[in-house]
Amino acid sequence: MTTRTTTPRQDGFRMPGEFEPHAGCWMLWPCRSDNWRLGGKPAQQAFVEVAKAIAAFEPVTIGVSRSQYQNARYRVPDHIRVVELSSNDAWMRDVGPTFVTNDKDEIRGVDWQFNAWGGLKGGIYFPWDQDDLVAQKVIEIEKTDRYKAPFVLEGGAIHVDGQGTLITTEECLLNANRNPHLFKAQIEQYLKDYLNVEMIIWLGRGVYHDETDGHVDNLCCFIRPGSVALTWTDDTNDPQYKISVDAYERLQSATDARGRRLKVHKVHQPGPLYMSETESQGVDQIEGTLPRRSGDRLAASYVNFYIANGGVVMPFFDDPQDEVARSRLQALFPDRTVVGVPSREIVLGGGNIHCITQQMPKV
């Protein structure tokens, strides 16, 4: 594996949109008992269901820490590849590489700095040393060259249209717990250099009570160039309401890198949903790890879906809005099959299907 000293932009590489063809999908295996209840067993089952749903559309690989290898290999169907790969938790979107491609059918991986969503200033757990090595290991296994980005970024903090436009949130990328030494203009320049984008659309805050400091992948995403889905509520008393209205207004007034106005599609949120006493009691309480408290509002959103080759795998919450949201997404993705997978066990850990997956583009 060669680590390049140039940037993807200098070398003519760009991050494709998630809706472009994939070679496959990478995931990790959940097992830490201070994040997942009951030693991670219900979450493991949910991750297996997500992997099976995605594997119906494209190859899936799951990275598993040494002590869980046999358990994972037993629980995961044979057609899904399982490889030993240490991590501190299971959020491949955030700790994995962001792949970039060029027009000569070449692919390389960008390895961001990772600090567990805020390091010692509000991060979710300590240490995160194994998470920080995941991107490099995936790049090595996939036999691509690597760019080592000189700043903190999680994959869930960005979405791109593959045509020069990126959306993100101020709450996350301008947070002092990510890159306190960088001004907004410097962060924009790094995004342009490492993802080869021209236009950055800044939204304000992410989903209410999202522990990532407002990752955009739980709030809003590209369906295709020129078209985005935004999590929504009509309940003016819900704290999410103002956040979604603000995002809607910013998106409506934005133009993308090609000068288009965006079409904004609202997708009504589930719930609101909260962590139960039983669920909270199932999680080990460890000093230094974000506590999981009974009554905590869950950052549940249908926008946290994964776009696969010919399919979309979306979260279901056993909520009356599930089928409404699925029909809505099916109408927005007429050429793909939209599949719902029960994901309450994943949102209890602080994220959802998009957060636990990372696509590798096809070249």
User: CA nearest 90: which of 150, 50, 59?
Assistant: 50
Residues assigned a catalytic role: 355
How near is the Cβ of 220 to ligand KQY at its closest, in Å? 12
Examine residue 296 and tell whether it contacts ligand KQY (CB under 6 A): no
Which one, 7 or 304, has the nearer CB to ligand KQY? 304
Residue in 19, 47, 57, 91 binding ligand KQY, rule: CB under 6 A: 91
Which stretch, 183-191, 213-221, 239-247, 308-316, contacts ligand KQY (CB under 6 A)?
213-221
What b/e readout covers 323-340, taking b as 16+ CB neighbours within 10 angstroms? eebbebbeebbeebebbb
> Does 37 sit near ligand KQY (CB under 6 A)?
no
Burial class (CB in 10 A: 0-12, 13-18, 19+), 98: buried
Which positions from 122 to 141 touch ligand KQY by CB under 6 A, shown as an x/- string?
A: --x-----------------
Would residue 213 be called left, alpha or beta, if left means φ above 0 and alpha means ψ between -120 and 50 degrees? left
The backbone torsions φ and ψ at residue 342, rounded to the nearest 5 degrees and listed phi first, read -55, 125
Decide if residue 156 touches ligand KQY (CB under 6 A). Answer: yes
Stretch 331-360 residues interacting with ligand KQY (CB under 6 A): 349-351, 355
Q: Which stretch binds ligand KQY (CB under 6 A): 64-72, 90-98, 133-141, 226-234?
A: 90-98
Cα–Cα nearest to 97, from 89, 107, 106, 88:
107
217 binds ligand KQY (CB under 6 A): yes
Compute the least distance from the CB of residue 183 to ligand KQY, in Å.
25
Kindly identify the residues of this chain, within the stretch 106-125, that bind ligand KQY according to CB under 6 A.
Answer: 124
Does residue number 196 form part of the binding site for ligand KQY (CB under 6 A)? no
Sign of the Cα pseudo-torsion (201, 207, 209, 215, in order): negative
Binding of ligand KQY at residue 93 (CB under 6 A)?
yes
Rounded to whole angstroms, how far apart are CA atoms 118 and 241? 26
Does residue 169 touch ligand KQY according to CB under 6 A? no
Judged by CB, which is closer to ligand KQY: 42, or 156? 156
Residue burial 243-274, b: 16+ Cβ < 10 Å; e: rest = bbeebbebbeebebbeeeebebbebebbbbbe
SS3 category, 3? strand
Handedness of CA 329, 269, 251, 358 (dihedral sign): negative
When the beta carbons of 40 and 349 are compared against ligand KQY, the nearer one is: 349
Size of the site for ligand KQY (CB under 6 A): 14
d(CA 340, CA 329): 10
Given candidates 94, 111, 132, 213, which one binds ligand KQY under the rule CB under 6 A? Answer: 94
Residues present in the chain in total:
363
Number of C-beta neighbours around residue 162 at 10 A: 20
Given the complex with ligand KQY, which of 8 and 351 has the nearer CB atom? 351
CB of 292 to ligand KQY, least distance (A): 10
Residues that bind ligand KQY (CB under 6 A): 91, 93-94, 124, 156, 211-212, 215, 217-218, 349-351, 355
